[in-house]
Amino acid sequence: NAGVMQNPRHLVRRRGQEARLRCSPMKGHSHVYWYRQLPEEGLKFMVYLQKENIIDESGMPKERFSAEFPKEGPSILRIQQVVRGDSAAYFCASSPPGVQTLHFGNGTRLTVT
Amino acid sequence: KQEVTQIPAALSVPEGENLVLNCSFTDSAIYNLQWFRQDPGKGLTSLLLIQSSQREQTSGRLNASLDKSSGRSTLYIAASQPGDSATYLCAVTRGTGGFKTIFGAGTRLFVKA
C-alpha cells in the first residue's frame, strides 16, 4: 500500500511563473490537507479538501493560491505568479473518512528565483 | 483560535539520557493529539497518537501523555540515541467545527554520541 505521493520533490520557478504541486493520497483516503513549512518554522495549515469539495481554506492566501481535489486524479495546489516569499516546503497529508490521523507525503520543495 | 507551543525550541543531550519534550495548547476541545518526527529535508513520520479520551500512549522507548484540562502533552524519550536526532512536532486536531490539525513549531533534538 503506497503512502502519500507528492510530486515533484523539488520545483524551481522564476518569479511570475505558475507552480503546480500534486498529491496522491493513500488508497482509501478521501481527505487531503495541504500544509506549508517555511525554513526553521512549523507547519502552517492551508486547506482541507474532500473529493470535489473544499472543506476549510482558512489558511490559504486570498490571492494567487488555489487547490482542488477532483473526483479522479490527484489533488493539485496551484500557485500563480509566484514570488520569492512562496519558497517553502509544501506538504500534503491524507486521512480516511471519519478518522483524523494524518499520513504525510515527503513534500515538494519550491524555490522561486 | 487554537495555538500550539513547544518547549524547548532546541535541545542537545548526551547519548543515553532520558528527556522530556513539552507541548501546550490553548483550546482543550480537541479530537486528538499527535507527535511527529521530521528529519531534515524529509516528510513527517507519525510517532504516537492520543485520542482525547486517552491519557497516554507508548511505543518502544517513547511515551506520550495528554492532560486536556491543563492543555499539555509531554513526549518522553528513554535512553536517547544519536538516531533520535530530529525535529519533533506536536499537532492538535480540533474537536468541533470539522477536522483541522494545528502544529507547534517543533523541538530540534540533537543527541551526541
Distance from CA of A86 to the nearest CA of B (A): 17
User: Hunting for cell 504525510 — which residue is that?
Assistant: A104
List, for residues A4-63, the tens digit of each pLDDT value.
999 999 999 999 999 999 999 999 898 999 999 987 778 999 999 998 899 999 999 999
Q: Which residue of B has its CA nearest to A45?
A: B102
Backbone angles phi, psi at B70, to 5 degrees: -95, -5
Q: Which residue of B has its CA nearest to A98?
A: B99
Query: Do B34 and A101 lie within an 8 Å CB cutoff?
Result: yes
Query: Do B31 and A48 lie within an 8 Å CB cutoff?
Result: no
Distance in angstroms (rounded) separating the CA atoms of residues B59 and B76: 11
**B39 contacts in A (CB within 8 Å)?**
none
Query: Do A42 and B105 lie within an 8 Å CB cutoff?
Result: yes
pLDDT in tens, chain B (113 residues): 889 999 999 999 999 999 999 999 998 888 899 999 999 888 899 999 999 999 999 999 999 999 999 999 999 999 999 999 999 999 999 866 567 889 999 999 999 99
For residue A1, what pLDDT band results from cuts at 50, 70 and 90? low
Opening angle at CA A93, ends A88 and A95, nearest 5: 165
Query: How much of chain A exceeds pLDDT 90, in percent?
Result: 76
What is the pLDDT, as a whole number, of residue B98?
Answer: 60
List, for residues A75-94, the tens digit of each pLDDT value.
999 999 999 999 999 999 99
User: Hunting for cell 471519519 — which residue is that?
Assistant: A98
Q: Which residue in the set B43, B99, B105 is minimally distant from A104, CB to CB?
A: B43
Distance in angstroms (rounded) separating the CA atoms of residues A12 and A90: 13
What is the pLDDT, as a whole number, of residue B97?
Answer: 57
In sign, the C-alpha dihedral spanning A7, A107, A20, A1 is positive
What is the pLDDT, as a whole number, of residue B50?
Answer: 94
Distance in angstroms (rounded) separating the CA atoms of residues A19 and B25: 34
DSSP A72-96: SS-EEEEE-S--GGG-EEEEEEEE-
Query: Do B101 and A103 lie within an 8 Å CB cutoff?
Result: no
